[in-house]
Amino acid sequence: MTTFNTNWQRAVIKVGSALIAPDGKHVSGQYVLPIAKFINDAKAQGKEVVLVSSGSVAAGRGSIHSHEQGTTIAEKQAMAAVGQAKMMENWQRFFDFSCAQLLITHGDLRDRKRYVNIKNTVRELLANQILPIINENDTVATEELKVGDNDNLAALVALVCEADALFICSDIDGLYDADPNSNPNAKLIPEVEQVTPEIYQLAGGTKNKIATGGMKTKLQAAEKTTSNGIDTFIINGKKSAVFNDILTGRQFGTWFKPLKNKDNAKKQWLKHTLNAAGKVEIDAGAYKALEQQGASLLAKGISQVSGEFIRGEAVDVVFENKILARGLIQYSSSELVLLAGKQSEQFESILGFKHKNEVIHRDDLVLFS
């Protein structure tokens, strides 16, 4: 029997739209009540919980008339605006302490200052015994600023909050070796040592019309968190007994075991939060310097520049068609095209100025291997 150490101090729990608004139009306490009891019980034990809650669009759907041809972006954003208040009210009624709402976008997470501000805000709320309830800001977020699904958002929140555990609520018991909806012989996988390509092959799509994620996004979330030392679980949010099991350490769901290595906070941000604006391809010498010597990336090791980016943006470092690393670039793409393959002593004669000797400093770079 799988047992889990219950000594976690801070957990993030992700609750999806199907649990918040089972009919797809209105909030309900049907599945929320056992989760709220778990949060109350956890707090009584001195533990801290951060809630990532979907459901604003679903909660507001019954209030906004939509086109028969399909819901427009503006209509969805209006639904979210109405539904946020309904969703928060639905949660607050189960607690005798305050809840706080944080609405964020991917732009907030990939900006270092705002990332740190989110961390500080959550820390202060928890210190004052207030439950942070976090959701994507669907009322204003554009596609390029959206995380896109709350599984990955929950993983990023777990990193921001420096959580010990992440619980992702699903409508099935966990990860199976086959689709349990179509294969009666499918077996639950109680433990996953590492999220590998073979594990990803077990993921199908979502069949829930109001959900934005499926098993694939849950595995993406687990990969982010476990690589940073966070115990991660996929559990059945429709089974109230599961939440008692979490606090007693009994077997439940699928446990994704954390890897031993932990990145520092800045490298977590670089690795999992920033979208690459372009890429630079490097030669064998630069590969050896980065991979084996822990060096910074110099212009002389760059063979090709792709994409358009400005100084300070994130770029992928590629070697032999594989992404080796990601880092914050010190030169724009137009400048770097001129500097590629050159020595740092030549920068000033080529550009008329020099920002740094390094194209990407080691402190601003994280390896994926």
Domain CATH for 79: 3.40.1160.10
Asked if residue 4 belongs to a domain, the reply is: no
Both 84 and 206 in one domain: the answer is yes
Both 74 and 105 in one domain: the answer is yes
Both 103 and 193 in one domain: the answer is yes
Give how many domains the chain has, as a whole number.
2
pLDDT of res. 233: 95
Domain boundary among 222, 248, 267: 267
* Domain assignment of residue 257, given as a range: 10-267
Tens of pLDDT, residue by residue over 264-286, are 777 778 888 888 999 999 999 99
Domain boundary among 232, 267, 302: 267
Both 251 and 282 in one domain: the answer is no
Both 26 and 122 in one domain: the answer is yes
Cβ neighbors of 221 (< 8 A, separation 6 or more) are: 14, 151, 152, 154, 155, 166, 168, 232
Domain boundary among 267, 300, 332: 267
Q: Can you tell me whether residue 168 is helix, strand or coil?
A: strand
pLDDT of res. 361: 92
- Domain at 329, CATH number: 2.30.130.10
Asked if residue 5 belongs to a domain, the reply is: no
Both 145 and 239 in one domain: the answer is yes
For Cα atoms 359, 361, 363, give the angle at the middle one, nearest 5 degrees.
160
pLDDT of res. 191: 93
Asked if 345 and 279 count as a contact pair (C-beta separation under 8 A), the reply is no
Asked if residue 2 belongs to a domain, the reply is: no
Both 220 and 321 in one domain: the answer is no
Separation between Cα atoms, residue 301 and residue 94, nearest integer Å: 58
Asked if 202 and 137 count as a contact pair (C-beta separation under 8 A), the reply is no
Both 125 and 34 in one domain: the answer is yes
Asked if residue 258 belongs to a domain, the reply is: yes
pLDDT of res. 263: 65
Q: Can you tell me whether residue 273 is helix, strand or coil?
A: coil
Both 69 and 184 in one domain: the answer is yes
Both 72 and 29 in one domain: the answer is yes
Asked if residue 248 belongs to a domain, the reply is: yes
Q: What is the pTM assigned to this prediction?
A: 0.77
pLDDT of res. 34: 94
Both 96 and 219 in one domain: the answer is yes
Asked if residue 223 belongs to a domain, the reply is: yes
Asked if residue 112 belongs to a domain, the reply is: yes
Both 207 and 299 in one domain: the answer is no
Alpha helices in 179-315 (DSSP H): 197-200, 215-226, 241-248, 265-272, 284-293
Averaged pLDDT, groups of 10, the chain, 369 residues long: 69 92 83 95 94 86 73 83 90 96 87 86 94 85 60 92 92 89 89 92 60 76 92 94 86 86 72 89 96 93 96 94 94 96 96 93 87
- Per-residue exposure over 178-217, b if at least 16 CB sit within 10 Å of its own CB, e if not: eebeeeeeeeebeebeebeeebeebbeebeeebbbbbbbb
